[in-house]
Amino acid sequence: MIERTQTHPFPERPGSRPGGAAPVSRPSRVLAALEVPALLAVPAAMVALAALGVSAAAGLTLAVALLALALLLASFEASRPALRQLMPTAVLAAVAAAGRVLFSPLPDVKPVSAIAIVAGAALGRRSGFVVGAMAALTSNLFFGQGPWTPWQMYAWGLVGYVGGLLAEHGALRRPAVLYGWGLVSGIVYGLVLNGYYVLGYVQPLTWPAVLAACAASLPLDVTHGLATCAFLAAIWLPWGRAIRRVVAKYEL
């Protein structure tokens, strides 16, 4: 048992609901069932509208992304998290936003993805999504808000959500999966932002132009993923032990 605690800071969890929480309401169940389809609808809309050559693809995909954000945030709210659940989520989001600002001199070296993954593993996939999304929104008070903000919120929220899903199935107990998702998360984030860029600013929109844009950003995206792995290596165990104590003390 001691060895297991040292190697993996988060106990295996069957779901994202805190132990001993109130029964899940029907609206909460419906919203929970729509979470994954909503998240998948965003890249599906990007690919479909680009393939069809729809002129309003940028606006339509932005609307889909905003709806996905609204649904995931509504699902978090509908789960009726107690104040003791909200506090660590808000603190992790604030730390992630502050970390992004602190590392602003280093392009694509940001702790946001790592902290979102830790939040998803410790507090559940919805909290992981909220930490990633809110970190993007609040840190852009420093970097500047714009049409890119919903895409950053979606992308970093997705990173935390998937981290929570992997943790619920015990996959993050394996270092290969933990650091593999850390690396891939940088590429996923880059693909989402590349999609926003090519749909909104690349004219005429052709597949060679899309591939060229993705190839140009690939070194930056890989750097982002490697930085996420480095941050995970630094915070996974110590932060995990600290959050585990909070989770146990307040029965989250």
- Condensed to tens digits (0 to 9), the pLDDT of residues 161-171 reads 999 999 999 99
The pLDDT score that the predictor gives to residue 23 is 54
Q: Is the dihedral of CA 106, 108, 112, 115 positive or negative?
A: negative
Contacts of 214 (CB under 8 A, 6+ apart): 190, 191, 194
The pLDDT score that the predictor gives to residue 80 is 80
> Measured between alpha carbons, how far is residue 187 from residues 31, 89, 220, 250 in Å?
28, 25, 9, 36
The pLDDT score that the predictor gives to residue 44 is 96
Buried b (16+ CB within 10 A) or exposed e, 177-189: ebbbbbbebbbbb
The pLDDT score that the predictor gives to residue 18 is 42
The whole-angstrom separation of Cα 241 and Cα 142 is: 31
Q: Residue type at 219?
A: P
The pLDDT score that the predictor gives to residue 179 is 97
The pLDDT score that the predictor gives to residue 26 is 77
Q: Contact 67/38 with Cβ under 8 angstroms?
A: yes
Q: Contact 114/231 with Cβ under 8 angstroms?
A: yes
The pLDDT score that the predictor gives to residue 218 is 93
For the range 55-61, what are the long-range contacts, defined as Cβ-Cβ under 8 Å and sequence gap of 24 or more? 57/199, 57/205, 58/196, 58/199, 58/200, 61/195, 61/196, 61/199
Q: Is the dihedral of CA 64, 143, 179, 186 positive or negative?
A: positive
The pLDDT score that the predictor gives to residue 162 is 97
pLDDT below 50 — which residues of the chain?
1-7, 14-22
Take residue 57 and report the two structure tokens written for it: 């693809």
pTM of the model: 0.87
Q: How many CB atoms lie within 10 A of CB 40?
A: 12
The whole-angstrom separation of Cα 207 and Cα 211 is: 6
The pLDDT score that the predictor gives to residue 19 is 41
Q: Contact 213/248 with Cβ under 8 angstroms?
A: no
